[in-house]
Structure 1
């Protein structure tokens, strides 16, 4: 998403990922990318989705959202007026994802590969959906998370003291939960086989399976990072000083071909 509130997309295939936007001239407030689709919040707080099963995984155009999160085959968001959760899923995931009864108000909801986690206003963190990899099974949390991050097989929590916690990955663990010790984090992201984070000092670190340089390919000449996003087998970040995008890792569908 650019500073002029426009969105640019690249990579993917015509029937899956958002290679092109449905309406390019609109102004956006936020964008979220899932496994096979993407969604954005417009300036009027309504949502548009595009990609595979966009009509099924996207909310009705009349409903307004405060935030939105695209997952593998579903999309969940916080309704603007009520802070309640609404989820929309492809046919095979509707009972699993949409069957959750959103009781009360929430401050955040995140979508993973086939699961959802949220932060309730009372501080609790419910998770639901596909649980093959224990990504919905929480141990005791040290405090209320500042932010949740949903991955394909994992869920990650960032706390106010800069610490990170990961759960899930049962049978799919290749180091995604091995968070580098002794670091305070300002943000982090995880997808399927690797994770990355930006420390409070601005350094970007990645861990997990290094597919095509998705972990070890962090540009060494960049001293400080502003933001990051972890994809299937690639990673992208925005540099702090120039605010330009750099991507590394797998490029089989043009993920690294930044416009």
Structure 2
């Protein structure tokens, strides 16, 4: 074969190799982030999204990051693909994650401890340092008698969680409409405060926080209760326009 022919073959092989690298060497960002196995949970906030990798239990976030809500210690730099959330010491993975308005929270899978990151102008991170946000996870203050959390939910500017043993509900952050449920509307909190317990309710099985109201399901009866803003009837108690600083029962559909 002539020297020119050899050069042509080498060039063709090089092009083929580059093509193979392009095909097999670059995975999609989502697959790469999840270890190519998938996600166990995903949560959408106002302008960002977070998820937990199915196998490793690692957390990833993407989207806006103006307040550090992606948790990757790169505050102000958003991402169009999943980026790994910084892992606090002692945490091996996450069991649940929730994205709020401009903050994110998650529960550690072994200890049951809660961590939050992002905006903290109203104390929504729950670490007793209102006004000081964080681009990495910070631990939520633990109320007396609480050993861990079974679930956490991030609203617009407040956060709520359910204690894993007692089933009691706690909220923290903004409280202008009574969304913390502690019968003290207008007074926010930088640490968890107990939600008032409705008559006949021994604990809560699930809780969800929105912009200015919160709702939960009673663990024994399965009844739903809501508290906070009610300008559009979002509390479901057939009394639109009248908010509540404590849980009120949602009307039962017939």
TM over 0.5: yes
Consecutive unaligned residues in structure 2, runs of 5 or more: 1-27, 73-85, 127-139, 184-194, 237-249
Rg larger for:
2
> Which whole-Å deviations, capped at 9, do the CAs of 1:64-83 have from their partners, x for residues lacking one?
xxxxxxxxxxxxxxxxxxxx
How far residue 154 of structure 1 moved from its aligned partner, in angstroms, is 1.0
- Could you say if the C-alpha distance between residues 243 and 124 of structure 1 is closer, same or farther in structure 2, counting changes exceeding 3 Å? closer
Find the aligned partners of 1:246 and 1:123 in 2 and give their Cα distance.
31
CA distance in 1, matches of 2:205, 2:52: 25
Question: Could you tell me how far 1:241 is from its partner in structure 2?
Answer: 2.0
Instruction: Give per-residue Cα distances to partners, 1:102-122, cap 9 Å, x unaligned.
Output: 122322222111111222234
Q: Is residue 2:71 matched to residue 1:137?
A: yes
- Aligned-pair RMSD on alpha carbons? 1.9
Q: Partner of 1:177 in structure 2?
A: 125
Residue equivalent to 2:229: 250
User: Aligned partners of 2:44, 2:60: CA distance in 1, in Å?
Assistant: 12
1:149, CA displacement in angstroms? Answer: 1.0
Paired residues of 1:135 and 1:167 also in contact (CA < 8 A): yes
Q: 1:205 to 1:124 in 2, by over 3 A?
A: closer
The question of whether the paired residues in 2 share the 8 Å contact of 1:153 and 1:191 is answered with no
Structure 2 residue 152 is the aligned partner of structure 1 residue 188: yes
Alignment size in residue pairs: 158
1:151 aligns with 2:115: no
The yes-or-no answer on 1:162 pairing with 2:112 is yes
The secondary structure found in structure 1 opposite 2:177 is helix
Q: CA deviation at 1:131?
A: 0.9
TM-score by length of 1: 0.56
Richer in helix (by share) = 2
Q: Residue 42 of structure 2: which of 81, 98, 109 is its match?
A: 109
Give the structure-2-normalised TM-score.
0.57
Q: Is 1:231 aligned to 2:210, yes or no?
A: yes
SS of residue in 2 equivalent to 1:102: helix
CA distance in 2, matches of 1:177, 1:230: 14
Alignment of 1:1-259 (within 5 A): 101-103=29-31, 104-106=36-38, 107-120=40-53, 121-138=55-72, 139-141=86-88, 142-160=91-109, 161-169=111-119, 172-178=120-126, 179-182=140-143, 183=146, 184-200=148-164, 201-215=166-180, 216-217=182-183, 218-220=195-197, 221=199, 222-257=201-236, 258-259=250-251
Contact kept, 8 Å, 1:234 with 1:250, in 2: the verdict is: yes
Give structure 1 stretches of 5+ with no counterpart. 1-99
In structure 1, distance between residues paired with 2:177 and 2:47:
25
